Amino acid sequence: DKLPDKKDDFYFRFHGLFHVGPVQDSFMLRLRVPCSELTSIQMRGLAGIAREWGGGYAHVTTRANLQIREIAAKNILHVLNKLQELGLTSRGTGADNLRNITSSAAAGIDPNELIDTRPMAKALHYYILNNRDLYGLPRKFNISFDGGGAIATVSETNDIGFVAVRVEEGREVAPGIWFRVQLAGITGHKQFAIDTGYVIHPSDAVAVAAAIVRVFNENGDRTNRKKARLKYLIDKWGTDKFMEEVEQKLAFPLLRLPLDQCLPAPPPIPHGHIGVFRQKQAQRNYIGVVTPVGTMTARQMNRLADLAESYGSSTVRLTVWQNVLLPDIPDGFVETVKGNLVRMGFHHQSTSLSGGLVACTGNAGCKYSATSTKAQAVELGRYLEERVPLDHPINIHLTGCPHSCAQHYIGDIGMVGTKVTRNGEQVEGYHIVLGGRCVGGQTIAREVFHGVPFSEIPPLLEEVLRHYLSRRASPDETFAQFTARHSMEELRELFAA
């Protein structure tokens, strides 16, 4: 039952175990799930861990990963041994390491994808596990593979984004599918990933990713954690010098290709992670399930595993939007699965709000959070759905502190937790930013409201959305487009009215 001291706590994080005191006198386990794909056996085993040694629930994260909370110190070895039995690991998911590698959630089954990203993402996952020099970085590091398709992967928010494009005959490189290399996305610091101008063959992705990480590891700033992310090394050196250093570590030359010589994948579908979608495989479908702000009970996890075994291919997928996909459902069983999901307490149809609610853990399980983000996100979503008849998808991201785990700057509406003084007492509140997006364009949201108590936010956002509906330029104008054509002062005046 002994808890780690400050130094040992950092070592525990290396193995994906976070002591979350004083909020909870227990540990949170963060997994590493390659391609965010679990077998039904693994899902059932994780449900058992949550039920027997955790709090009886798990959270889907914004890295398409799973976290299990409320694990007592005495049960840590049981948990780690069980992970090994399941063929899973938590190594390197905390501290200054490479985090879970994300890839297109419907990779291999989406009819509009350019490439199945799973082979590259899995290869990189295992490469990381087997190369000790890729641990202990100056700061944490995120990598994403975007093969195109209905579900946005938000690769623009990653330190490395490999984004699939099509190159036709007559260009400066051979025709086919290539990855454009994007670097230094960190939206918590108000920056999307930068296109480097280089393209790579998908088979070279592991080598290029490893070279990039090694250049960062050798040259990143270890003296100031606030300036230790990849962005700051590239700010110092410039993209050209950084990529020259990367090329020195490779056995092949890097190729430049102007962006206008590439054909992008079709744009993602807003809230394309929720609902029933046809697969490229004949008479097969994947179903995107609404798991409210990523929360699943152990019982629900078991039932999802049962559905995957009985009607699908015994696999369950996670998305960066904090929800679950059930792939490979035959046409004849779609209605049966939908009915089972409803009986489990889940939904398979997205309203304009439910599919876009994203929230970090909040102060129920994180010492940094000023607010109860998950509970407040659900409350806010219900309030707005009952009162505002939206006809365009809206994303609302709630994060409890400036660390931006819920990526508030890319939401149509972003909320970052703070304490607000009202009547001499401190209450939970938020700074509110508006107009962010990473689908259909890239925009960092701007702060319009500062230090608003949560109790005042539901009616405030109701008015914001009503103003949008009544004043938009056309029925097709999205919320992000609406806010983009107004200054912050104009927005404040508009909503104050």
Q: Is the pLDDT of residue 2 over 80?
A: no
Distances in Å between the alpha carbon of 424 and those of 69, 190, 285, 421, 454? 34, 33, 55, 6, 16
Per-residue model confidence (pLDDT) at position 6: 78
State the pLDDT at residue 497.
64
Q: From the CB of residue 357, how many other CB atoms can be counted at a distance below 10 Å?
A: 28
Q: Once rounded to an integer, what is the mean pLDDT over residues 109-132? A: 97
Residues 165-171, mean pLDDT to the nearest whole number:
96
Q: What is the pLDDT of residue 23?
A: 75
Condensed to tens digits (0 to 9), the pLDDT of residues 487-497 reads 999 999 888 76
**CA 328 – CA 482 distance, rounded (Å):** 38
| Per-residue pLDDT, 494 | 87
Q: What is the pLDDT of residue 4?
A: 79
Per-residue pLDDT of 374-416, as tens digits, reads 999 999 999 999 999 999 999 999 999 999 999 999 999 999 9
Q: What is the spatial distance between Cα 341 and Cα 344, in angstroms, rounded to a whole number?
A: 5
Distances in whole angstroms, Cα of residue 177 to Cα of each of 80, 212, 262: 39, 21, 9
Q: What DSSP element (H or E) covers 95? A: none
Lowest mean pLDDT: which of 193-207, 280-294, 356-370? 356-370
Average pLDDT, the chain: 95
Judge residue 329's burial from the number of C-beta atoms within 10 Å of its C-beta, 0-12 exposed, 13-18 middle, 19 or more buried.
buried
pLDDT at 85 over 90: yes
pLDDT for res 7: 80
Count the Cβ atoms, other than its own, within 10 Å of residue 260. Answer: 6
Kindly give, in sequence order, each residue whose CB lies less than 8 Å from that of residue 388, ignoring residues fewer than 6 positions away: 462, 465, 466, 469
Is the pTM above the cut of 0.75?
Answer: yes
* pLDDT above 90: residue 483: yes
Q: Which residue ranges form the domains of the chain, and what is each CATH number? A: 6-96+273-344 (3.90.480.20), 106-264 (3.30.413.10), 354-496 (3.30.413.10)
Half-sphere exposure of 46 (CA within 13 A, CB side): 32
Alpha carbons 340 and 46: distance in angstroms, whole number: 21
Torsion, Cα of 489, 492, 495, 497 (10° steps): -80
